[in-house]
Structure 1
Amino acid sequence: MMNDESLICEETANFTLGNTFYRSQSKITRDLGVLAAKIYKSEQGRLRVLDAMTGCGVRSIRYYLESDADFIWSNDSNPENKAVIEYNLGFILQKNKGKITYKNANNIFFECFNNKDYYDFVDVDAFGSPNPYLSTVLWATKINGLIYVTCTDGRTGTGHLPENCLQNYGSYGRSHPAAQEQVLRLIIGSSLQEAATMGLGIEPIFAYFSGSTYRVMLRLLPKINLSLDNYGFLGYCHHCGEYTTISYKQLGKVNCYHQQENKYYNYTISGAMWLGNLHNKEYLKTMKNLAISLKWSTVSDLLSIMIHESNFPPYFYTLGEIGRRGKLDIPKRSQLIEALENDGFQATNTHINSQAIKTNASLKQCIEISEKLINNSKVGKIND
Structure 2
Amino acid sequence: MINYKSLICEETAYFTVGKTFYRPHSKITRDLGVLAAKVYKQTQEKLRVLDVMTGCGVRSIRYYLESDADYIWSNDSNPENKETIEYNLGFILQENKGKISYQNANNIFFECYNNKDYYDLVDVDAFGSPNPYLSTALWATKIGGLIYLTCTDGRTGTGHLPEKCLQVYGSYGRSHPAAQEQVLRLIIGSALQQAATMGLGIEPIFSFFTGQNYRVMLRLLPKINLSLDNYGFLGYCHQCGEYATISYQQLGKSRCYDQEEKQDYNYTISGAMWLGNLHNKEYLKTMKNLAINLKWRKVSDLLSTMINESNFPPYFYTLGEIGRRGKLDIPKRSQLITALENQGFSATITHINPQAIKTNATLKKCIYIALVS
Same fold (TM over 0.5): yes
Please give the secondary structure, in 2, of the residue aligned with 1:353.
coil
How far apart are the structure 1 equivalents of 2:322 and 2:125? 36
Q: What does residue range 274-289 of structure 1 map to in structure 2 within 5 Å?
A: 274-289=274-289
Q: Which residue of 2 aligns with 1:84?
A: 84
Q: Which residue of 2 aligns with 1:377?
A: none
Is residue 2:273 matched to residue 1:294? Answer: no
How far apart are the structure 2 equivalents of 1:180 and 1:141? 27
Q: Deviations over 1:216-246 (max 9, x none)?
A: 0000000000000000000000000000000
**Shift, 1:4, TM fit:** 3.2
Please give the secondary structure, in 2, of the residue aligned with 1:277.
coil
How far apart are the structure 2 equivalents of 1:42 and 1:274? 29
Q: Which residue of 2 aligns with 1:101?
A: 101
Give the count of matched residue pairs. 373
How far apart are the structure 1 equivalents of 2:216 and 2:2? 34
Q: Which residue of 2 aligns with 1:269?
A: 269
Please give the secondary structure, in 2, of the residue aligned with 1:311.
coil
How far apart are the structure 2 equivalents of 1:3 and 1:234? 51
Q: Which residue of 1 aligns with 2:113?
A: 113
Please give the secondary structure, in 2, of the residue aligned with 1:208.
strand
**Shift, 1:262, TM fit:** 1.2
Q: Which residue of 2 aligns with 1:382?
A: none
How far apart are the structure 1 equivalents of 2:33 and 2:111? 24
How far apart are the structure 2 equivalents of 1:338 and 1:4? 54
Q: Which residue of 2 aligns with 1:350?
A: 350
Task: Give ranges in structure 1 of 5+ residues lacking alignment.
Answer: 374-384
Report the residue type matching 1:189 in the other structure. G
Q: Which residue of 1 aligns with 2:164?
A: 164
**Shift, 1:133, TM fit:** 1.0
Q: Which residue of 2 aligns with 1:316?
A: 316
Please give the secondary structure, in 2, of the residue aligned with 1:354.
coil
Task: Extract structure 1 runs of 4+ deviating beyond 4 A.
Answer: none
Report the residue type matching 1:285 in the other structure. K
- Give identity over the alignment, percent: 84
Q: What does residue range 189-268 of structure 1 map to in structure 2 within 5 Å?
A: 189-268=189-268
How far apart are the structure 2 equivalents of 1:360 and 1:6? 51
TM-score (norm 2): 0.99
Please give the secondary structure, in 1, of the residue aligned with 2:5.
helix
Q: Which residue of 2 aligns with 1:378?
A: none
How far apart are the structure 2 equivalents of 1:102 and 1:2? 19
Q: What does residue range 40-51 of structure 1 map to in structure 2 within 5 Å?
A: 40-51=40-51
TM-score (norm 1): 0.97
Q: Which residue of 1 aligns with 2:60?
A: 60
How far apart are the structure 2 equivalents of 1:253 and 1:51? 45
Report the residue type matching 2:30 in the other structure. R
Please give the secondary structure, in 1, of the residue aligned with 2:54.
coil
Q: Which residue of 1 aligns with 2:137?
A: 137
Report the residue type matching 2:127 in the other structure. F
**Shift, 1:2, TM fit:** 2.9
Q: What does residue range 317-336 of structure 1 map to in structure 2 within 5 Å?
A: 317-336=317-336
**Shift, 1:331, TM fit:** 1.6
Q: Which residue of 1 aligns with 2:304?
A: 304
Q: Which residue of 2 aligns with 1:153?
A: 153
Report the residue type matching 1:295 in the other structure. K
Report the residue type matching 2:167 in the other structure. Q
Q: Deviations over 1:99-124 (max 9, x none)?
A: 00000000000000000000000000
Task: Give ranges in structure 2 of 5+ residues lacking alignment.
Answer: none
Please give the secondary structure, in 1, of the residue aligned with 2:77.
coil
How far apart are the structure 2 equivalents of 1:58 and 1:261? 57
Please give the secondary structure, in 2, of the residue aligned with 1:87.
helix
How far apart are the structure 1 equivalents of 2:145 and 2:302? 24
How far apart are the structure 1 equivalents of 2:211 and 2:226? 30
Please give the secondary structure, in 1, of the residue aligned with 2:282.
helix
Q: Which residue of 2 aligns with 1:366?
A: 366
**Shift, 1:3, TM fit:** 4.1
Report the residue type matching 1:164 in the other structure. K
**Shift, 1:289, TM fit:** 0.3
